[in-house]
A and B are shown apart, each in its own frame.
Chain A
Amino acid sequence: MKLLIVDDSVVIRRAIERTMKSQFFESIQTAQNGALALKIFKNSPIDVVTMDITMPEMDGLTCIESMIKIKPSTRILVITALADKGTAVEAVKRGAQGFLLKPFTEDDVNEALNDLLEDL
């Protein structure tokens, strides 16, 4: 499986990437905003995405909707600081299957990814 990590924070991208290197992904790519993520997504066979919401150029919710239209089987885990229930509901409506609130630990990310992929 191929993973795409989308977050405008380089610290967060690197933290998730470090955690995911111990997982079973064939490749890991990163993007700093939704627009760049969508460009990568269109040109690479991405299976799993971790997606921030608040980003410049294109926000995560818009990006999720576009990705799901292109490839409905994509597994998307939202990782965001936005702690209101409305954001989680909206992310699921757009096609995300998982939701993890920042701040997070390495264990939190592993658990959320395992839940996201358990029925594959």
Chain B
Amino acid sequence: MIEEKNLKTFIKGTQNYFSSVTGATPEIGTPYEIDASQIHGDFTASIGISGSQRGCVYFTAKREMLEILLSQIGEISNDEELLSDIVGEIANTIAGNAREDLGSGFMISPPHLQNGRINLETLYQKESSFVIPIHWKGYACFVIISLDVMQLNN
């Protein structure tokens, strides 16, 4: 089971990403246990976690939101490659930033990218994954934390 204090690490990273990159602070909803009916996204990325923890960190978002995000960072194109790539970069940044609290033993893989909504059947932990809902500029997107056990190691 993921501890509340460890979920806060990922919430902090999510807030920091959107605030730093876009200047607009996102609204973070109360995390909840995974519920397929509430998660929607056109592009999804997963980061494999190994070392001190095992599992995956996912980020998924709708096309419209990603197009605005790309524009905000000065990107003039919004083709499929860039839309897919930016969800990977967001997932990578949130997972990588978590090492500030979780330590160097929290090893992350390069992003695995997929078009379409997250496939709940392939979630690392089907039973105890947690969703962090994010609202940014009127759009919803989601960070999903799917880990075996989380313990602080520093």
Contact = CB atoms under 8 A, between A and B. Distances in A.
A30 B16 CA distance: 27
Nearest to B18: A103
Interface in B116-138: none
A120 interface: no
A10 B111 CA distance: 12
Given A10-B81, A86-B104, A103 B17 contact: yes
B60 interface: no
A84 B93 contact: no
Contacts of B64: none
Interface string B95-116: 1111110011000111100000
A23 B98 CA distance: 32
A54 B109 contact: yes
Given A10-B82, A11-B86, A14-B75, A103 B93 contact: yes
A10 B100 CA distance: 25
Contacts of B110: 8, 54-56
Among B20, B21, B98, B110, chain A packs the most CB atoms within 10 A around the CB of: B110
Interface in B31-47: none
Interface residues of B, number: 30
A82 interface: yes
B67 interface: no
Given A14-B75, A81-B96, A81-B97, A9 B109 contact: no
Contact of A11 (B82, B96, B97, B103): B82
A101 B97 CA distance: 8
Nearest to A55: B110
Contacts of A81: 92-97
Contacts of B73: 11, 15
Nearest to B108: A54
B92 A9 contact: yes
Nearest to B83: A11
A80 B89 contact: no
A84 B104 contact: yes
Interface of A: 8-12, 14-15, 18, 54-56, 80-84, 86-87, 101-106
Given A8-B111, A9-B86, 9 more contacts: A11-B85, A14-B75, A15-B73, A15-B74, A54-B109, A56-B110, A82-B108, A102-B89, A102-B93
